[in-house]
A and B are shown apart, each in its own frame.
Chain A
Amino acid sequence: MKFILTILIFFNFSITKVYAEETRQVDKHEHGLGELNIATEGDVIEFEFMIPGADIVGFEYVAKSDADIAGIKKALQTFENYENIFTLPTNSRCQLTEKQVALKEDEDDHDEHEEHDDHDEHEEHDDHDEHEEHDDHDEHDDHDEHEGHDEHAEENHNEFYAKYSFECGDTKAINKVEFPYFSTFPNSGELEVQFISSIGSVSFEVEAEEPSINIDGKI
């Protein structure tokens, strides 16, 4: 009886939660699957990488140890030089005009963790009571420890984001893009590529065995 009551009370509680929130959706995040968007128009070609932290540095929790912090720093530096990630044919005469490299923490999660109330919604129900006991919950790092989850990555995602814009002498000469990315980051998995030009869009799946895409005639 008490059990049923507890369930009822909890259920009631969570229903109010549902009403409190407008929409709940979580981005997909799949380890071993990096995303790459390539768009080209006129003389410009842009590459946009979104790669799970696990594929680059092997972990996704907030780096605290010196080694982890150094690892992230080194990875970001590696991204600074695009040639560590991909190469373009030299006869296309492409010049890098703009780049943006960042480590994106999963912001949604952060917000929700800080606001304690929101938190319960995407937790296992059983965990719920435990949370209530913890009042010193606000700090994100602490939070993970309370959860006692083995898989930090489940809780805390991050993503390496890198965007490179080029101006090219001849974009049509870009017939092939090679990806040293796979040898640069041994943890890397697959790259899912979306490509669009004035001719149309196309997709590729690139893997370490054949680290290149053939876009001859697609620009």
Chain B
Amino acid sequence: MLLKLTFASLYVRLLTISMTVFAISLSLMLYLSVEKLRTSAYTSFTDTISQTDLILGSRTSSIQLLLYSVFRVGNATNNITWESYEEIINKDEVEWSVPISLGDSHKGFRVMGTNLDFFKRYKYRGGQLIEISEGNYFDDLYDVVIGAAVAEKLKYNIGKSIIVSHGIKSFTDHDDQPFKVSGILEKTGTPIDNTVIVSLEAIEAIHVDWSSGAKIPGQETPIEEIRNMDLSAKNITAAFIGVKSKLTIFKLQRWINEYPEEALTSILPGVALHELWRIIGIVENLLLGISIVVIFTTLIGMAAIIFSSLNERRREMAIWRAMGASPNVVIGILMLEAFIISFLSTLLSSILLYILLNILQPWIDDTYGILINIELLSFKDLLIFILFIISAMFVSLIPAIRAYWFSINDGMTIKI
């Protein structure tokens, strides 16, 4: 009976109420999407590298090393000589290692030189290997394997001839030595999708006629001659290392960091990721804080709307009283109203969230490489909803108490 009355009363004020519900849903959705983005970004980040124990690079900050070696963000300050690299990987503790060489690009996509071990050893998302979807891994010196996003955006197919540019953003091309796409990788949701992968020898080959970062004018070694040259890498940018036993990892790390012949750094990827996240976490918390404040303001807004409707509804309440409703029932009705409004808002906000996620997911994945899993609301989200509904009812107590006084003072005759 009471519920029916409340619904009927809400229905009469449909426009105001639906706008209130919509405003609250939007603020709840803001909170939910920030929370979703936060957790997705974190898993996306941590999923990028898996089962690599150490990353080796020249002396730099751990976060920078992680960013340029794994996320292709920023640049290395120095390279590592092959001699040091060999000495390190010949240590007893090392089980496997994959060298990488960065520094060139193709149409804005980074070019990475490595060897075939990369495809056997580099793992992401809980130990998944990078699979090839079309063609083969590089076989010839001028073969190149491209990530899924590179193939998609540049519309490349197997056999397509491509030119690698010198440096990250430069107008000089290695146009004397064209490459051929030999394979396209499966989509991984990691920066590998945006990478052009060649062999370490190819990196050496394209720099044969280069000295101190510039092409030597007039010098052009014929490709056939380059093929016969010794193209073994003289330096690399970074290396991924796996150890035989986790128990020896810190000993090896210390040994590398104190390596006397060359200033090197080795990091545990998870440790560096956490350090990075502690910095990003500040921004995250700020966003979360803002969305919580927005929820609070809408809650107060809701109370204000109920408040302002009280005057109009004094007649309504007088009728309730006339029909035998006690002042407590008046409080009950208003709280029930708040419950219905907030409950509807949570439902609507979930629906809005899923619509929004479905629209934005491909774009976020494309632009930021963050894959958002569209899944059911988490337990935490439900808890937030319950908390929200309770606080909505609590906030509505303020107008409810006022209504209580009105109804006691007015009784059945309204004195305005």
Contact = CB atoms under 8 A, between A and B. Distances in A.
B136 interface: no
A40 B250 CA distance: 11
B261 A203 contact: no
A109 to B, nearest CB: 14
A148 interface: no
A46 to B, nearest CB: 6
Contacts of A205: 278
B228 interface: no
A90 interface: no
A46 B248 CA distance: 10
B250 A201 contact: no
Label chain A's interface by main secondary structure.
strand
Contacts, number: 55
Given A22-B261, A196-B270, A203 B275 contact: yes
Contact of B258 (A27, A46, A201): A27
B246 A39 contact: yes
A20 to B, nearest CB: 15
Nearest to B49: A200
Contact of A41 (B246, B261, B268, B278): B246
A18 interface: no
B247 interface: yes
Interface in B227-260: 245-247, 249-250, 258, 260
B247 A46 contact: yes
Interface string A15-46: 00000001101010000000001011100101
A198 B247 CA distance: 10
A107 B258 CA distance: 13
A202 B246 CA distance: 13
A48 interface: yes
B402 interface: no
A194 B271 contact: yes
Interface string B41-78: 00000100011010000000000000000000000000
A22 B262 CA distance: 10
B275 A23 contact: no
Contact of B250 (A22, A37, A41, A204): A37
Given A39-B249, A40-B246, A201-B268, A196 B53 contact: yes
A197 interface: yes
B247 A44 contact: yes
Contact of A194 (B51, B261, B268): B268
B263 interface: yes
Contact of B247 (A25, A41, A202): A41
A154 B278 CA distance: 30
Label chain B's interface by main secondary structure.
helix
B270 A39 contact: no
B258 A39 contact: no
A23 B263 CA distance: 9
Interface residues of A, number: 22
A40 B245 CA distance: 9
Contacts of B245: 41
Given A27-B258, A203-B275, A196 B263 contact: no
A217 to B, nearest CB: 13
Given A41-B245, A196-B270, A23 B250 contact: no
Identify the interface centre among A22, A41, A204: most chain B CB within 10 Å of its CB.
A41
B113 interface: no
A22 B260 contact: yes
Nearest to A218: B270
Identify the interface centre among B46, B249, B263: most chain A CB within 10 Å of its CB.
B249
A25 to B, nearest CB: 7
Interface string A105-135: 0000000000000000000000000000000
A22 B260 CA distance: 8
Nearest to B268: A201
A39 B247 contact: yes
A198 B268 contact: no
A39 B247 CA distance: 5
Contacts of A40: 246-247
A22 B263 CA distance: 12
B269 A201 contact: yes
Nearest to B263: A25
A22 B272 CA distance: 30
A163 to B, nearest CB: 10
Nearest to A35: B250
B274 interface: yes
Contacts of A44: 247
Contacts of B260: 22-23, 25
B68 to A, nearest CB: 19
Contacts of B249: 39, 196
Interface string B73-114: 000000000000000000000000000000000000000000
Contacts of A46: 247
A203 B246 contact: no
Interface of B: 46, 50-51, 53, 245-247, 249-250, 258, 260-263, 268-272, 274-275, 278
Which 4 pairs from chain A and chain B are nearest by CB? A201-B270, A201-B268, A203-B271, A37-B250
Given A25-B263, A48-B250, A201-B270, 11 more contacts: A23-B261, A23-B262, A37-B250, A39-B246, A40-B247, A46-B247, A196-B246, A196-B249, A200-B270, A203-B271, A204-B274
27 contacts: A22-B260, A25-B263, A27-B258, A37-B250, A39-B247, A39-B249, A41-B245, A44-B247, A46-B247, A194-B250, A194-B268, A194-B271, A195-B271, A196-B53, A196-B249, A196-B268, A196-B270, A197-B246, A200-B46, A200-B270, A201-B53, A201-B268, A203-B270, A203-B271, A203-B272, A203-B275, A204-B274
